Amino acid sequence: MTIPTTPEASGTIAGTNPAQEHAAEVEQQVVNHRRQSPGSRLLGVLAWVVGLIFIAPVLWMILTSFHKEADAATNPPSPFAPLSLDGYKSFFSAGPWPPILNSVTASVVSTILVLALAFPAAYALSIRPVRKWTDVLFFFLSTKFLPIVAGLLPIYLFAQKVHMLDNIWLLAVFYTVMNLPIAVWMLRSFLAEVPLEMLEAAQVDGAGLLTTMRKIIAPVVMPGIASAALICFIFSWNELLFARVLTGTRAETAPVFLTGFVTSQGLFLAKVCAASLVVSLPVLIAGFAAQDKLVQGLSMGAVK
């Protein structure tokens, strides 16, 4: 990223003595650090308030999931009602394991396939680039911008024709294609950080491809591969529309299971909260693990 400085700003810098300025700056920072002004403290409090408002629905979901159905559905709410595992018990007795297992299969298999295909592709777009590699890169990106819903019917018809409807492996392949462009972009931006001089030095020393991969490339890109994997996993796990259309009773995934969950009469709030929390847990874990690289993945590597 280059820095777009305004003309006024650069003008003022030129007018001052850099050393003096730096000393004053450090002094100012020390003062700022020691004595926070009331206004600045207020902004800190405000940040906390906003953060709490945003996480409140999640906290409420967690609390409700541990209440008895009768206590969960009171008005005004009863946050201090005795805790109970009834919500979880009734969720787990509704048969969520096959759908959860399907989600795990589709997400994990597709993530592995994505990495296996994306890593060589990213290599061919960065370290030993093909001609017109930017065109290829932007082709990958452009496919991500096409609305996926427009492919719903053809993919359904294809699945019907090859008798793969209600088959979790088809969904895994579909998720692979869905996430490949993101992974190629992410991995490319990590591979581009591998220092070229080191690669050249390795070549001069006669290191083979495998040695170069293990000794030079892997240490730099491993964290990137991990976060790309986590982000692909999240996207596959969350997907609803295609899972709903392409699967039936055998291959339904956890999100599809959730949509069919609230059909029963009577009270179900604790059960729904427990279910939502359990299904979101893998995403929460993966997301917090990839926290630092989340932006990079979501912006297809455009923002570091």
Partner 1 sequence: MTTTTTTSPTPGPTPGPTTDAKTSKALQRSGDWARRAPLLPALILVIVATQLPFVVTIVTSFTRWNAYYPDKRGFAGLSNFGTVLSDPDARHAIWVTVLLTVSVVLISLVLGLVIALLLDRKFLGQGIVRTMMITPFLIVPVAAALLWKHAIYNPEYGLLNGILKGVFGNGAPQVDWIGTHPLMSVILAIVWQWTPFMMLILLAGLQSRPMDVVEAARMDGANTWQIFTNMTLPHLRQYIELAGLLGTIYVVQNFDHVFTITSGGLGTANLPYYIYQTFYTAHDYGLASAAGVIVVILTLIVATVALRTVFSLFKEESR
Which region among 94-102, 162-170, 221-229, 260-268 touches partner 1 (by CB under 8 A)? 260-268
Which region among 82-90, 93-101, 163-171, 230-238 touches partner 1 (by CB under 8 A)? 230-238
Which one of residues 106, 121, 159, 225 is an interface residue with partner 1 (CB under 8 A)?
A: 121
- How many residues sit close enough to partner 1 to count as binding (CB under 8 A)? 127
72 near partner 1, rule: CB under 8 A:
yes
131 near partner 1, rule: CB under 8 A:
yes
Which one of residues 30, 83, 101, 209 is an interface residue with partner 1 (CB under 8 A)?
A: 209
Angle of helix 218-238 relative to helix 168-191, nearest 10 degrees, comes to 140
Using an 8 Å Cβ cutoff, are 182 and 235 in contact? yes
Chain residues 275-294 in contact with partner 1, contact rule CB under 8 A: 275-277, 279-280, 283-284, 287-288, 291, 294
269 near partner 1, rule: CB under 8 A:
yes
- Shortest Cβ 101–partner 1 spacing (Å): 16
Chain residues 26-55 in contact with partner 1, contact rule CB under 8 A: 28-29, 33, 40-41, 43-44, 46-48, 50-52, 54-55
> Angle 180-181-182 (CA atoms, 0-180°, nearest 5)?
90
Residue 149 DSSP class = G
Nearest C-alpha neighbor of 256 from the set 268, 275, 240: 240
Which one of residues 141, 164, 165, 220 is an interface residue with partner 1 (CB under 8 A)?
A: 141
217 near partner 1, rule: CB under 8 A:
no
Chain residues 146-175 in contact with partner 1, contact rule CB under 8 A: 146-158, 174
Rounded to whole angstroms, the Cα distance separating 255 from 99 reads: 8
3-state SS, residue 275: helix
Rounded to whole angstroms, the Cα distance separating 134 from 150 reads: 26
Which one of residues 81, 105, 108, 129 is an interface residue with partner 1 (CB under 8 A)?
A: 129
Token pair 């541990």: residue = 66
Enumerate the H helices of the chain as residue ranges. 7-15, 18-34, 38-65, 69-72, 86-92, 97-123, 133-145, 152-161, 168-191, 196-204, 209-212, 218-238, 241-246, 254-259, 269-289, 294-298
Distances (CA, A) of 298 to 28, 46, 101, 181, 216: 37, 27, 26, 12, 27
83 near partner 1, rule: CB under 8 A:
no
Which region among 83-91, 164-172, 197-205, 218-226 touches partner 1 (by CB under 8 A)? 197-205
Which one of residues 94, 127, 164, 226 is an interface residue with partner 1 (CB under 8 A)?
A: 127
Which one of residues 80, 93, 145, 266 is an interface residue with partner 1 (CB under 8 A)?
A: 145
Rounded to whole angstroms, the Cα distance separating 163 from 146 reads: 26
